Homo-oligomer: A and B are copies of this chain.
Amino acid sequence: MFEFNVITESQTCRARAGLLQTAHGDVETPVFMPVGTRGSVKSVSPEELLAAGTRIILGNTYHLYLRPGCDVIRRFAGLHRFMHWDGPILTDSGGFQVFSLAKLAKISEEGVTFQSHLDGSSHLLTPEKSIEIQTCLDSDIVMCLDNCIQYPATREDSRDALEITTKWALRCKQAWQESQNSRNALFGIVQGGMFEDLRQRSADELMKIDFPGYAVGGLSVGEPAEVMLEMADHTLPLLPETKPRYIMGVGTPEDLIELVALGADMFDCVLPTRNARNGQMFTQNGTVNISNARYKEDTEPLDSGCACYTCRNYSRAYLRHLYMARELLAYRLNTIHNIHYFISFMKQIREAIQADEFESFRKAFYRKLEN
């Protein structure tokens, strides 16, 4: 049920437009995936996600495993019906959150033992367990358990983490094949820290195992933006041109357009949703902090060029009022706009690639930001 095809390639850079086909529908790439950590993209409904142009969302295995747990999700035959989202879902492996949120995470070749951040209960996350949970979630795109390390990391730590990542990837592939869930796809995750030769080795080892898609992990973990782009520039061309390439956990609109230029197809990030809840809004002229007093009596929409529900119906003054009063509607109206911005931005990028106008689109994008 899973297929990926490159439709158009830019003549001037590595950017490409493609089509992902999944059991829950098609997704045009490059694509941005809003994050629905605990079975809900915070504050918005599935209908609002669709209206904002969302075609695929991300769910977090770590959170959903701890609460509500697989016993609950299984009664709904997966996450889709549980959360009333019929479109494709990509789930991460749980590894990243185990290292960043759980207590006392201890890694061994078998897997990671950790204590729940909710109740302190002990758990063991293995490659097989991660696939089992993601299978129960009926995820359309399943991610291999990887060993994601912090920045900066020594060459030795980076090498150790990549070696474990490769071993786990092999076990994930076996577990995935045994799960007989041919409807979904399993992606391998390239690690290797900020070392070019380790990235090369990680990519080679994963390609030998052979996956329907590949992610670049271990980026956006604290390194400067230019280091992130350098590593992506080095790593993306190592991966098969016929497979989708996913950069995990990135990033700003500027990051996204640069990574598309380097050949990336898929992205996820909490930036639009988290910043919305903090009052930081993305517009074609740059970011806006809606709490700013200059918007107190401003009857104009947030972004006059935007067609989202928020901009069509509400003023900056009202959004500021809701935000200052900490009204629940504030988080939702802000989130709707920011998701719409990210999704529309990717759509414009896609259309520019298809019309072979990517370079001029990129220039126009930066020109508007500087205004």
Contact = CB atoms under 8 A, between A and B. Distances in A.
Interface of A: 38-40, 42-45, 67-68, 71-72, 75-76, 82-84, 296-297, 299, 313-315, 317-318, 320-322, 324-325, 327-329, 331-332
Contacts of A313: 84
28 contacts: A38-B321, A38-B327, A39-B318, A39-B321, A39-B327, A40-B327, A40-B328, A43-B328, A43-B329, A43-B332, A45-B329, A45-B332, A67-B321, A67-B324, A68-B296, A68-B320, A68-B321, A71-B297, A72-B296, A72-B297, A72-B321, A76-B317, A82-B317, A82-B318, A83-B318, A328-B328, A328-B332, A332-B332
Contacts of A84: 313-314, 318
A322 B45 CA distance: 12
A327 to B, nearest CB: 5
| Most B-side CB within 10 Å, residue of A42, A67, A72, A315 | A72
Nearest to A39: B321
A321 B75 CA distance: 14
Contact of A75 (B45, B317, B328): B317
Contacts of A329: 40, 42-45
A75 B327 contact: no
A324 B322 CA distance: 25
A9 to B, nearest CB: 40
Given A299-B76, A321-B68, A332-B332, A42 B327 contact: yes
B67 A322 contact: no
Query: What are the 5 tightest A-B residue pairs by CB atom distance, in nearest-first order?
Result: A43-B328, A68-B321, A40-B329, A84-B313, A40-B327
Contact of A67 (B38, B43, B67, B325): B325
A325 B322 CA distance: 23
Nearest to A68: B321
Contacts of A321: 38-39, 67-68, 72, 82
A82 B325 CA distance: 15
A218 to B, nearest CB: 28
A68 B38 contact: no
A325 B68 CA distance: 9
B67 A299 contact: no
Contacts of A82: 315, 317-318, 321
A328 B277 CA distance: 11
A260 to B, nearest CB: 31
A332 B43 CA distance: 8
Contacts of A320: 68
Contact of A76 (B67, B71, B75, B315): B315
B75 A299 contact: yes
Contacts of A325: 38, 67
Given A67-B321, A76-B315, A82-B315, 12 more contacts: A40-B328, A67-B324, A68-B324, A72-B296, A72-B297, A75-B297, A76-B299, A82-B317, A83-B318, A84-B314, A328-B328, A328-B332
